[in-house]
Amino acid sequence: MPSDSELKKKLTAEEYRVTQQCGTEPPFSGSLLHVKGTGKFVCKVCGNMLFDSKTKFDSGTGWPSFYDAIPRSVTFKTDTSIIVPRTEVLCAKCGSHLGHVFGDGPQPTGKRYCINSVSLDFKDEKK
């Protein structure tokens, strides 16, 4: 895995803040929010495949939202930085912060992965 100083060179200040310091991008700011193509969303830091475009839905929150993650691509951690604990979603390969998962998503999983656009890259299968 790249060192902290390598990551600082590779990532923008905002990407570094979100992925390495558990930050959150401003809602409706993300470039991947309205991506409609078919493909995979991968980790910005290490390229690990995280989400399939088939599971993306418009949650209205202003962050890219998915109802499922690619099996074994992410890990979870309880985030107690606010009063009501949330479940943080991390890249299983490099440990970068991706976002949070909530229990109010659509079927078939009922989950809502609320993910920062700057933590992701999109690989369009048609390109």
Q: Report the alpha-carbon distance of residue 67 to residue 103 in Å, rounded.
A: 10
Q: Report the alpha-carbon distance of residue 71 to residue 32 in Å, rounded.
A: 21
Q: Distance from first CA to last CA of the chain, Å, rounded? A: 28
Binding piece for Zn ion, criterion CB under 5 A, among 5-13, 42-50, 62-70, 106-114: 42-50
Q: Which alpha helices (DSSP H) does the chain contain, by range?
A: 4-10, 13-21
Is 114 among the residues known to form the active site?
yes
Binding piece for Zn ion, criterion CB under 5 A, among 9-17, 25-33, 56-64, 90-98: 90-98
- What are 95's two structure tokens? 């440990």
In whole angstroms, the minimum distance from the beta carbon of 49 to Zn ion comes to: 10
45 touching Zn ion, by CB under 5 A: yes
In whole angstroms, the minimum distance from the beta carbon of 14 to Zn ion comes to: 17
93 touching Zn ion, by CB under 5 A: yes
Q: One of 43, 46, 91, 114 is an active-site residue; which one? A: 114
46 touching Zn ion, by CB under 5 A: yes
- CB of 61 within 8 A of CB of 114? yes
Q: Is 7 left (phi over 0), alpha (psi -120 to 50) or beta?
A: alpha
89 touching Zn ion, by CB under 5 A: no
Binding residues for Zn ion, rule: CB under 5 A, are 43, 45-46, 48, 91, 93-94, 96
User: Catalytic positions, please?
Assistant: 114
